Amino acid sequence: MNRSFTNKIILALLIISGAFLFYTSCSHPMNSSSYVVFGTECRITLPVSDSKKYFDILKQMEKKFSYRDENSEIAKINKNAGIAPVAVSDEVFYVISEAMRFSAETDGAFNPLLLPVIKLWGWDTGEYRVPTKEELERYLPLCDTNNIVLNENDKSVFLTKKGMGLDLGGLLKGYACDVLYEQLKKDGIKKGILNLGGNVFVFGNKEYKVAIQKPYAERGVVADNVFVKNKSVVTSGAYERGFYNNGNYYHHIIDPSTGECAKELYKSVTIVSSSSLVADVYSTAIFVKGDKLKSDFLLNYPEAEVIFN
Ligand code: AMP
Ligand code: MG
């Protein structure tokens, strides 16, 4: 990785601060440690002395799911776009199937096949640029969710057109939170706080206060507090990651119907849900679609909450 790219990643990490929720509560001593995984700071706070096992789970997940890691299963699927189906592990098949199910459920507002357009904007390298209308029109068909074939029998995934690509960045941290929580329960750990770059999951028999970052304000400025128990709190916002070009601000959440940055209907969308995967998907999707999707979401997921800032 060249130095300027590394610097840009570090800068991006600082900018992502918007997604960082913070929390209080808990009277028993807890140990907290953090690592950079999924390109962001992941902090695990548990009543155990060593969280290495849980960071290892996250790192293994990153190796499997990151399109940036050329040995990942996702990178293999992308390399074989337009060439051949790729047999993948049960876990990768499951997550991609879920991503496609959510894509249908959100009427396309959540789309895990946006990589060709994400690359046009330079989000993959940090060398940002504003694509032309013609470029977006040319590349958008490659993001069409009809062009992926999932074969349940041999657990293979086929992107039928050359140039297509999967990017699970819109749900991976949520999925990872849920996986960690299941493992922690199996290990008999009764309370904890997981914060994967702003995807927060709190569990235990106490209620936690989770503070939501005020969009575009300095890191740590609170817009809202929520009181939750055994729930995930996930926020998506344009302010989390973006760049300026000719005085205009461009951000990382794409409207799949145009390939442009999603219109900022709200500065941020926070979802509270017992599933971090659901919270992650819908914070992104409701950011794109706004109120209309919010009503459908709450009908389908009555346990969840939506907070706009
Ligand atoms: P989040 O931070 O969870 O809102 O997800 C944003 C990330 O998901 C972006 O950095 C992209 O990698 C990817 N992404 C952007 N727009 C979308 C979208 N409409 N649907 C799914 N993933 C997206
Ligand atoms: Mg998301």
254 CA → ligand 1 middle, Å: 7
Amino acid identity, position 173: K
Residue pair 288/262 in contact by the 8 Å Cβ criterion: yes
CB 183 within 8 A of CB 199: no
Cβ neighbors of 64 (< 8 A, separation 6 or more) are 72, 73, 74, 89, 91, 92
Q: Residue 125 class from Cβ within 10 Å (0-12 exposed, 13-18 middle, 19+ buried)?
A: exposed
Pocket test for ligand 1, best of 9, 114, 250, 251 (most atoms within 8 A of CB): 114
* pTM as predicted: 0.91
At 306 the three-state DSSP class reads strand
276-289 and 172-186 are packed helices; what angle lies between their axes, rounded to 10 degrees? 160
Q: pLDDT tens digits for the chain (309 residues)? A: 444 433 333 333 333 333 344 444 445 589 999 999 999 999 999 999 999 999 999 999 999 999 999 999 999 999 999 999 999 999 999 999 999 999 999 999 999 999 999 999 999 999 999 999 999 999 999 999 999 999 999 999 999 999 999 999 999 999 999 999 999 999 999 999 999 998 999 999 999 999 999 999 999 999 999 999 999 999 999 999 999 999 999 999 999 999 999 999 999 999 999 999 999 999 999 999 999 999 999 999 999 999 999
d(C-alpha 185, C-alpha 200), whole Å: 16
The minimum-distance atom of ligand 1 relative to the CA of 123 is: 10
| Ligand 1 pocket check for 259: Cβ under 6 Å | no
Is the distance from the beta carbon of residue 165 to the nearest atom of ligand 1 less than 6 Å? no
Q: Is 111 in the pocket of ligand 1 (CB under 6 A)?
A: yes
Q: Which protein residue's CA is at the shortest distance from atom 6 of ligand 1?
A: 170
